[in-house]
Amino acid sequence: MHILNSLDKAPGGNGDRKNLDTCSIVIFGASGDLTARKLIPALYHLFKENQMPATFRVVGFARREKTDAVWRQELRTALEQFSRTHPVDNAVWAAFADNIFYCVGDLTDDAAYSKLEARLSAFGDPALRENLLFYLAISPSQFGEVVEQVHRSQLLKREGPGWQRIVVEKPFGHDLASAHKLNHELTRYANESQVFRIDHYLGKETVQNILMFRFSNSIFERLWTRESVDHIQITVSEKIGVGERGGYYEEAGALRDMVQNHMLQVLSLIAMEPPVSLEAESVRDEKVKLLKSIRPLTSEDVARQIVRGQYFAGAVGGQPRPGYRQETKVKPDSNVETFAALKLFIDNWRWSGVPFYLRTGKNLPMSASEVRIQFRPTPNVLFAAQCGTQLDANALTLRLQPNEGISLHFNGKVPGMSLGMRPVRMHFSYDSEFGAYTPEAYERLLLEAIAGDATLFIRHDEVETAWKIADSIRTGWEGKPLTNREFYAAGTWGPIAADDLLATLGHTWHEPQVIK
């Protein structure tokens, strides 16, 4: 199973290649941003680190006419910009680029798929024609067409020979109904086991470490219940605004862009029950179970438990930022949320009564993702006279990015004659412990898809359950314009309403720490 295999690839590990099958990776949408920014750099690094199959091909499929040589050159130029290591290694690139090919064609044209088929057959090795990873870096509205076409041209089969897999990107639909439709379109010609839905958060080392941390450390696992945990906070804050993505963002908003996928994924890993094994289905069964135990939200609950926000003009790190309504392709009276904060309850045995606070937003003071497990306070009978009635409660922070690490916060006596106390922390940093080896999420995800391990991908019922939660929130917001308490200045930690949300239970948000 990959979580354990991935240990081999950690620094100090032996870097062994998994026994990966010879295969071709066919990228639909080869001229797009994702291919140049993420997919090719990820494949290049996998190749460089000897993680790719011994024999493989990458075939780009797109409409623009160009030769293999021109496409290789374009990718080489993009790699200069998007590679996570510099300089790009010329010899490695040359050897890698020999495996890259371009196939011109329109997604709706039958003949183009015959050409693709011919191209794959011409590689000579039957495995390069039969073991196929189709990466759909295209609009979801085109998924159905492509899947049908590759099926018709005999490139996609439910039962061998070889294996064929389809990798799809987010957004996977924009609500439950559209996600359901997409699931149906994908599984008309493929089995669910052939579909790999990406949430790039699951490719992050620190997100994968959540399960390892929880289930391999008895001191923490036994505290992971309502008896010890007071509440949990998950923050994914971003310094960037919506920038050039105004058009997309107007349709998405923070709820669809971040909460439905990344935030609920992190929540499910933090809160799920131990799986019966590390097999993909066992892990995903538990994640779905967890999502299903989130208490459903009525419109009244949404008004009480969910806060949205939108930034107005301000400054982030001293840099002036326009308001959301002034961004390109954004309506001047838009009510789209650039911030969302949620108070959720998980109605199961372990978490009954424990609030889970989630928040995410654009144009916040810093970019940081972290999970804070706040433990119950001790009875404050001994130190109240010296330290006041409020002793800091213990907390465990899992810093997902940047400055990846884990901190344990507790109280310590200030040295000296008095009984003064203050919070102190023990900190584990990935960098200091393991060195600065941080593979990009896409490297791990592509590798897992090539290996056929679906653990880090979202199952159909998981994506639909998450949409059900997002839809109930959207329904609660429908027809309600933003109020004054829901606006925040760019560069602040979100609207006042988000603070009110926690204050009702006497809680406050903990800002991610600046870790140097």
Residues that bind ligand BG6 (CB under 6 A): 238, 257
Nearer to ligand BG6, 155 or 330 (CB): 330
Least distance between ligand BG6 and beta carbon 252 (Å): 7
CB of 361 to ligand BG6, least distance (A): 11
Edge-first strand listing for the sheet containing 100-104: 100-104, 56-62, 23-28, 132-136, 164-168, 195-197
| Residue with Cβ nearer ligand BG6 (26 or 255) | 255
Complex with ligand BG6: residue 238 or 471, whichever CB lies closer: 238
Nearer to ligand BG6, 230 or 257 (CB): 257
For residue 439, whether the previous peptide bond is cis, meaning omega lies within 30 degrees of 0, is no
Beta-bridge partner residues of 222: none
Which lies closer to ligand BG6 via its Cβ, residue 37 or residue 66? 37
Consecutive H or E run containing 423:
strand 421-429
What is d(CA 132, CA 120) in angstroms, rounded to the nearest whole number? 10
The residues that are catalytic are 262
Report in angstroms how near the CB of residue 198 gets to ligand BG6 at its nearest: 10
Least spacing, CB of residue 145 vs ligand BG6, in Å: 24
Max Cα distance, the chain (Å): 85
C-alpha neighbours within 13 Å on the C-beta side of residue 460: 16
Closest CA to 210 of 295, 268, 151: 268
Find the helix or strand (DSSP H, E) in which 359 lies. Answer: strand 355-361
CA dihedral 141, 147, 149, 151 (to 10 degrees): -170
Nearer of residues 257 and 337 to ligand BG6, judged by Cβ: 257
Cβ 510 vs Cβ 423: under 8 Å:
no
CB atoms within 10 A of CB 496: 16
Cα separation of 512 and 357, whole Å?
14
- Residue 181's alpha-carbon distances to 93, 174, 191, 473, in angstroms, are 40, 11, 15, 21
State in angstroms the smallest separation of the CB of 257 from ligand BG6. Answer: 5
Shortest spacing between CB 140 and ligand BG6, in angstroms? 14
Paired residues of 394 in beta bridges: none
Q: Which residue is nearest to ligand BG6 (CB)?
A: 257
